[in-house]
Chain A
């Protein structure tokens, strides 16, 4: 198939960017979106032009590095799919496709389609962990039974790949779905309950400091989430934060 592309080009964080027009011909319907971008880049390189910079790594939908806003949606039109798992058979011959970076104040553009998502790492650093050191004699893994329902719910929250698609989709550029996924995972497990209050307070503080917007329960995040993190997690975060704020001694 032949496609017209409108791709955001920006030399670096401080320069101004704009959409530029490109064409790719003879794209296989079986290729992934990133393979189509590879094809374009190879053509650009052969012509002596500057290829489009974009983030990607595992290309199997799990590392969370790919981050394109395609035709008005993060990770493109197919639901439950990362950019790398989006295949060209979802497009039609002759389509015009807009490709933009994830946009948020907290995600400055580094170059073209690559953005800096270190803000998400800093939110995890603020409290997205259980404070246990590596130990040669931890408690046996089966010492504390965990109800299967809790373990499954914790797992579902823990599958967040940290791509930032929720931030990109949210009209407010809020990171609540991301934060809530980690808070939920750890607050559902007995191991994480111990420091649940400090965790939720610190993570929310950091989230606010990073300049993400506020959650107004629009729900776009969960709709666009490639791994289906649910809004129930945001409710749980709200609950956890409320109880932490009301009962914390500080």
Chain B
């Protein structure tokens, strides 16, 4: 009887082992995917920012130029393919992250009564799940406002015959109280992105095994600078749009 049980347990274990090994299921592999998708999303942040910065020119020509850019981004084949990768990466990064966070919670069923994590780590590092969730919620909002509208929503046409996304953007952030709330939400999201990047940027390199006494300090400095400058640059745009109301 007991030997049967042992045998059963062994098969169970082997099955579990196989499921957990290699580049699919192990804890470290899940982190590789977090890291790679994360780095890809970081690169997207730069591209997206460069496009958005055109909104700092709200003249008629500037708006039309932005709409040309928006059309290019939604129709050029190579960019379309890349964007599917991007959606997949966002989804994967989110799902994998949530799964890891759930596993991590389970790894400590009983919490400490006295817990002083600030003495050994920074807040952002411990709250990537929370920050990620805020960012995900923002991405959904953001995409429903612009991406959805651009593709399938009701949208005007500008002088060049392009979909007038610039006006949609301007209205979103200038629309009275609602606009103000949208700007605030945007700022909160960018703060979350900043903290997420502050940990995530250097963490991605560490996960891929890149840790070197000479290069890691550089990576950390660049990461910190990136995590402040990029979200700040993003944040300027809706604020600028709002301020430009009158």
Chain A residues packing against B (C-beta within 8 Å)? 6, 8, 19, 69, 71-73, 77, 98, 100, 103-106, 169, 171-174, 201, 204-205, 207-209, 211-220, 223-224, 231-232, 234-242, 245-246, 248, 250
Give the docked Cα–Cα distance between A239 and B13 (Å): 26
Residues from chain B with a CB closer than 8 A to the CB of A211 are: 106-107
Give the docked Cα–Cα distance between A169 and B116 (Å): 10
> Secondary structure at chain B's binding surface: helix, strand, loop or mixed?
helix
Question: In the complex, given contacts A216-B104, A217-B203, A232-B213, what are 8 additional A-B residue pairs having Cβ atoms less than 8 angstroms apart?
Answer: A69-B112, A173-B104, A209-B20, A238-B32, A238-B206, A238-B208, A239-B208, A242-B209
Q: Looking at the complex, which one of B17, B32, B112 makes contact with A103 (CB distance below 8 Å)?
A: B112
B28 contacts A241, CB within 8 Å? yes
Residues from chain A with a CB closer than 8 A to the CB of B211 are: 231-232, 234-236
Give the docked Cα–Cα distance between A58 and B128 (Å): 39
Residues from chain A with a CB closer than 8 A to the CB of B23 are: 245-246
A217 contacts B199, CB within 8 Å? yes
Residue of A nearest to B100 (CB): A214
B120 contacts A224, CB within 8 Å? yes
Residues from chain A with a CB closer than 8 A to the CB of B17 are: 205, 209
Give the docked Cα–Cα distance between A212 and B13 (Å): 16
Query: What are 17 of the A-B contact pairs (CB < 8 Å)?
Result: A69-B112, A98-B113, A105-B108, A173-B107, A207-B27, A208-B20, A209-B13, A213-B108, A218-B125, A219-B125, A235-B206, A236-B209, A238-B207, A239-B208, A241-B29, A242-B208, A248-B22
Per-residue A-contact encoding for B99-112, CB less than 8 Å = 1, 0 else: 01001101111111
Residue of A nearest to B24 (CB): A245
> Secondary structure at chain A's binding surface: helix, strand, loop or mixed?
mixed
Q: Looking at the complex, which one of B21, B30, B116 makes contact with A201 (CB distance below 8 Å)?
A: B21
B113 contacts A19, CB within 8 Å? yes
Q: Looking at the complex, which one of B22, B108, B116, B126 makes contact with A72 (CB distance below 8 Å)?
A: B116
Residues from chain A with a CB closer than 8 A to the CB of B108 are: 103-105, 171-173, 213
Residues from chain A with a CB closer than 8 A to the CB of B114 are: 6, 69, 71-72, 98, 100
Nearest CB of chain A from residue B59's CB, rounded to whole Å: 45
Question: In chain B, residues 30-58, which have Cβ atoms closer than 8 Å to a Cβ of chain A?
Answer: 30-32
Residues from chain B with a CB closer than 8 A to the CB of A237 are: 28, 209
Q: Looking at the complex, which one of B100, B104, B119, B210 makes contact with A73 (CB distance below 8 Å)?
A: B119
Residues from chain A with a CB closer than 8 A to the CB of B125 are: 216-219
Give the docked Cα–Cα distance between A217 and B209 (Å): 11
Give the docked Cα–Cα distance between A173 and B101 (Å): 12
